[in-house]
Amino acid sequence: MSLQLITRCALSGAAPVPRETGAVLGGALLGAAAASSITAWPEQRLAAPLLGAGASLLGERWLSTLPVSGGESEGIVWRRSGDVLYGVLELDEALFAGETGRTPLQAASEEAYLRLFRLLEAQELPQLWRVWNYLADINGESHGLERYRQFNIGRQDAFLEFSRGATGNVPAACALGLAGGPLSIAFMAGATPAVAVENPRQISAYHYPAEYGPRSPTFSRAALVYPPDREILFVSGTASIVGHRTVHPGDIAAQCRESLANVEAVIGEAGRLGRTGPYTLGELAYRVYLRDAASQPLVAATLAPRLGAAADIVYVAADICRRDLLIEIEATASHVLGGRQSP
């Protein structure tokens, strides 16, 4: 089985993927008009502005050389190819208003992950590899608690209810804020366990002290996963944090450099733990989230000397999980087992 991420596919609409490129397992559509897209595969639609030169609508697609099957389960649209599954779920928080002892976002987050875990059990693909989380007004406060912290409570409650550990071998993930819309979760899972990767420059997120909320975030800094014949590296959302503290508040260029230093530390650990040798900054495919859209030229100029002019980077306007963070970087790469190839 060959599983490949095709990135930076500029679209004028929901353009089909040519047959010769493989079967579509799932993907994402990014851009301000993404919410109106309709596709035949599970697609996470992120109605957030793309920044910099290029298309206003951009598709990311996971392709497989094996046939795909799919369906819908409790609102999750999913596809499966061999022992790899990709799914997308959107939940309206308003449906959970009036929950006793829980905020609507907390209840929606818990329910989303419970549905996810039930699907993985039903498909007998129990290993959750990577999760992409997006919610409205991530730094806003309601019910006396920041919304990101409400999300973390709901997510962790679902992990614990399914007797999944909330520390250690947890999936790679990100959580970003959009201007509006439902709670949106996309995920990839498989039959084989992921190898969790942590950052020696940082405290693991699941060990953050209580000052960051009643529950710590449930994710690893990165994960190495092994569909047949391939090693895929998922680098989680990575920001300007050393230890557990935000560094360089108010300085976007310095936060960019620190975030990249953390990515470099993570891929160094991935090279040590993986089966295919080292990863380099230049081979990764990046999503870069910026709180201030006007900072994109400065960020691009800051990244260029390290990543090179041909780097595969998508810039997206989004809010970061801490108010004092201005940038977050996530990335993906893959190597063929016994060879080497990146998306």
| Catalytic residue annotation | 328
Query: Is 317 within 8 Å of 48 (Cβ atoms)?
Result: yes
- 277 CB burial (10 A radius; 0-12, 13-18, 19+): exposed
Query: Is 115 within 8 Å of 76 (Cβ atoms)?
Result: yes
Q: Which residue has the tokens 């009643």?
A: 214
Per DSSP bridges, beta strands 58-64 and 69-73 are: unpaired
Strand partners, 312: 285
For residues 116 and 123, give the distance between their C-alpha atoms in angstroms, rounded to a whole number. 11
